[in-house]
Homo-oligomer: A and B are copies of this chain.
Amino acid sequence: MNKKQVPITHHHFPWDHPRFRSWIAVARACQLMQQTLTRALAELDIKPPHLDILVNLYRFEGITQQELARKLLVGRSNMSMLLPQLEKRGLIERRGDEKDKRVLRLSLTESGRALSEQAMEIQTAIIDKSMEDSPIEECMIVAQAMERLVGILLKDAGDPD
């Protein structure tokens, strides 16, 4: 068994680990997708953060800023900066809650809903094209792996913010 003593590299570089390489690919994909989406949304004069907001207001009408920030994994202050912009453009409305005078309930306006639909079409087109070479089952595996990852990280972080 002298074959056992392979030339020990002793220093395992990260890029030799399969999981590490996987993650690097994920990070690169994410970055590129963000840039591509930014360029594509330019014609609607919005950016990815705005789209994230619009999509969530589309799904969850009457949500509060706090809940929205939690869904988007950003801080409350972030919403305090972005939402007034969208409000000034007439895309969303912020109405104070009757029972809890602290919170502002958010909803899309007519034009906001229309713009959301256009933007979502753009985004969906890009995603579909980017993943057209991957069969659905593989996409599901990707989704599962990423959701497990999110679960682990959220548990460890204790959901700070």
Binding site for B on A (CB under 8 A): 13-15, 17-23, 25-33, 35-36, 39, 55, 59, 73, 120, 123-124, 127-134, 136, 138-150, 152-154, 156-157
Contact = CB atoms under 8 A, between A and B. Distances in A.
Given A26-B30, A123-B14, A133-B148, A142 B140 contact: no
B33 A128 contact: no
Complex copy number for this chain: 2
A153 B32 contact: yes
28 contacts: A14-B120, A15-B59, A17-B128, A18-B140, A20-B124, A20-B127, A22-B139, A22-B142, A26-B26, A26-B30, A26-B143, A27-B30, A28-B73, A28-B146, A29-B146, A32-B73, A32-B154, A36-B157, A130-B149, A131-B148, A131-B149, A133-B148, A133-B152, A134-B145, A138-B144, A141-B141, A142-B145, A142-B146
Contacts of A148: 131, 133-134
A100 to B, nearest CB: 28
A142 B141 contact: yes
B14 A55 contact: yes
B133 A33 contact: no
A147 B140 CA distance: 16
Contacts of A128: 17, 19-20
Contact of A131 (B35, B39, B145): B145
